[in-house]
Amino acid sequence: MALITKIREKSGIAAAAIAISLILFLVGSDIFQGRSSLFGSNNQEVGVIAGESILLPEFQKKVEEATANYTAQTGKGPGEQEATMIRDQVWNQYILDIAYKKEFDALGLKVSSEELIDMVQGNNIHPSVRQQFTNPQTGQFDKTFVIQFLKNLKTMPVQQQQGWANFEKSIAQDRIRAKYENLIRLSTYVNTAEAQKEYQAQNSKFSARFLYVPFFSIPDSSIKVSDAQLEEYLAKHKDRFKGVNSRSIQYATFPVVPTAQDTVEFYNQIKKLAKDLAVAPNDSAFAMLNSDVRTPYLLAYSEIPEVVKSQLGTFQVGGIYGPFKNGLTYSIYKYGGVKKDSLFTVRASHILIAPANKSDSAKAQAKQRAESILTQIKGGASFETLAQLNGMDGTAQNGGDLGYFKNNGSMTKAFEKAIFGFNGAGLMPGVVETEFGYHIVKITDAKTNTAYRLAAINKTIAPSQATLDRVYTQADAFANANGTLGAFEAALKKDKNIIMMRADRLLENATSINNLTNAREIVRWAFDESTSIGDGSKKVFEQDNQYIVAYLTGKTDKDNVKVDDYREGITNLVRAELKGEKITAKLSAIKGSLEQIAQKYGAGALVENVSDVTLSTGMLNTAGPDAVALGKIAGLKTGKRSQVFTGDNGVFIAEKTAAVAAPALADYTTYKSQIQSMGIQRASYYINEAIKDNAKIVDKRYKFY
pLDDT tens digits, one per residue of 131-174: 888 776 677 788 888 888 888 888 888 878 888 888 898 899 88
Q: So what's the pLDDT on residue 16? A: 45
Contacts of 552 (CB under 8 A, 6+ apart): 247, 248, 249, 485, 526, 531, 532, 533, 534, 535
Strands 437-460 and 499-507: unpaired
The sign one gets for the Cα dihedral 124, 126, 129, 130 is positive
Q: So what's the pLDDT on residue 595? A: 96
Give the number of other Cβ atoms within 10 Å of residue 75's Cβ: 6
| 631 conformational bin, left if phi > 0, alpha if psi -120 to 50, beta if neither | alpha
Q: What is the pLDDT of residues 523-554, one digit of tens each?
A: 999 999 899 999 999 999 998 789 999 999 99
Q: How confident is the model at residue 683 (pLDDT cuts 50, 70, 90)?
A: confident
- Sort 703 into a burial class: Cβ within 10 Å, 0-12 / 13-18 / 19+: buried
CATH number for the domain whose boundaries are 258-462: 3.10.50.40
| Choice between 178 and 5, residue whose per-residue pLDDT is larger | 178
> Distance between CA atoms of 353 and 362, rounded to whole angstroms?
11
Residue 224 has pLDDT above 90, yes or no: yes
- What one-character DSSP code corresponds to residue 516? B
Cis peptide before 305 (omega within 30 of 0): no
Residue type, 451: A
> Distance between CA atoms of 236 and 253, rounded to whole angstroms?
42
Q: How confident is the model at residue 26 (pLDDT cuts 50, 70, 90)?
A: very low
Q: So what's the pLDDT on residue 34? A: 35
The average pLDDT across 440-448 equals: 90
CATH 3.10.50 is the classification of domain 205-242+566-660: yes
Q: So what's the pLDDT on residue 531? A: 96
> Distance between CA atoms of 438 and 367, rounded to whole angstroms?
6
Q: How confident is the model at residue 599 (pLDDT cuts 50, 70, 90)?
A: very high
**Rounded to 10 degrees, what is the CA torsion of 38, 42, 44, 49?**
-120
H or E stretch including 456? strand 437-460
Q: Which of 164, 175, 168 is nearest to 110 (CA)?
A: 175
Through-space distance between the first and last CA atoms of the chain, rounded to whole angstroms: 42
> Distance between CA atoms of 526 and 114, rounded to whole angstroms?
52
The average pLDDT across 674-685 equals: 83
| Choice between 672 and 586, residue whose per-residue pLDDT is larger | 586
Render the burial of 347-384: b for 16+ CB within 10 Å, e for the rest. bbbbbbbbbbeeeeebbebbbebbeebbebbeeeeebb
pTM of the predicted structure, to 2 decimals: 0.59
Alpha-carbon distances of 576 from 177, 218, 603, rounded to whole Å: 45, 10, 18
Question: Are 205-242+566-660 and 258-462 equal in CATH topology?
Answer: yes
> Distance between CA atoms of 281 and 296, rounded to whole angstroms?
18
Q: Which of 195, 328, 335, 185 is nearest to 262 (CA)?
A: 328
Q: What is the pLDDT of residues 81-120, one digit of tens each?
A: 888 889 999 999 999 999 999 999 999 999 999 999 999 9
Residue 368 has pLDDT above 50, yes or no: yes
Contacts of 264 (CB under 8 A, 6+ apart): none
Contacts of 206 (CB under 8 A, 6+ apart): 612, 613, 633, 634, 638, 656, 658, 659, 660
| 62 conformational bin, left if phi > 0, alpha if psi -120 to 50, beta if neither | alpha
Give the number of other Cβ atoms within 10 Å of residue 265's Cβ: 14
Q: So what's the pLDDT on residue 385? A: 87
> Distance between CA atoms of 676 and 568, rounded to whole angstroms?
38
Q: So what's the pLDDT on residue 152? A: 87
Strand order in the sheet with 650-660: 606-613, 205-214, 650-660, 645-646
Question: What is the chain's percent helix, strand, coil content, to nearest 5?
Answer: 50, 20, 30
Domain definitions of the chain by residue range: 2-186+696-703, 205-242+566-660, 246-256+464-560, 258-462
The average pLDDT across 558-572 equals: 92
> Distance between CA atoms of 158 and 164, rounded to whole angstroms?
10
